[in-house]
Amino acid sequence: MKHALLFLMLCFFSHASDAQEIQVYFSPNGGCEEAVISKINSAAKTIDIAMYYLSSANIAHALVRAQQRNAAIRIVLDQGQEIESASKSGYLIKHGFEIRYHLGFGLMHNKFAIIDGETLITGSFNWTQTAQERNEENLLIIHDESTISQYQQRFEYLWNTSRIDLRDARGLAAAPAWVCTTFHLFCGH
């Protein structure tokens, strides 16, 4: 009887910990932005981000704070974000971030971040105020080593096949963006 009780307790706690491996959020106003900021705020070492559209001031400010805590942050965005006026890429560059832009012919439509190699944030949720307040979107926070490893490999691919931003820290163009985009060059790299 004692062994059966111990076995049942182990099964229960095993399943209870599995339930904690994925957290689910929905927008509008379902806590997606707050969950992203909470995970950024918990970062101790690294944050790798592949994001189609990043225009949330709150998330950009959280990233700057994480950088000030000495977290190493790498960001790959869709190439349209380089000239998009609402994009926070220029703001982040002014704060010393290296931003890279995807060179593919289609959209870099990923929406994920890896925090300290232990937490994956993914889903349809763009890091924008519109996604937070109006769009029907979803966000998953996953703590599964195998899944995170696959996303990390994809991030490394995106990082290594993207080019750096063509603006200097003051936001001035270093080379015409169309040159690098059209000819798929690693300008300034």
Q: Which two tokens stand for residue 82?
A: 């380089």
**Is the bond preceding residue 28 a cis peptide, omega within 30 degrees?**
yes
Question: Which one of the listed residues 39, 88, 102, 111 is annotated catalytic?
Answer: 111
User: Rounded CA gap, 82 and 57, in Å?
Assistant: 16
Cβ 181 vs Cβ 156: under 8 Å: no
Question: Which one of the listed residues 109, 144, 165, 184 is annotated catalytic?
Answer: 109
For residue 109, indicate whether it is catalytic. yes
For residue 116, indicate whether it is catalytic. yes
Cα–Cα distances (Å) from 97 to 9, 24, 80, 94, 131, in that order, read: 48, 29, 18, 7, 24
Question: Which one of the listed residues 61, 116, 143, 144 is annotated catalytic?
Answer: 116
Q: Which two tokens stand for residue 151?
A: 């996303």
Catalytically active residues, by annotation: 109, 111, 116
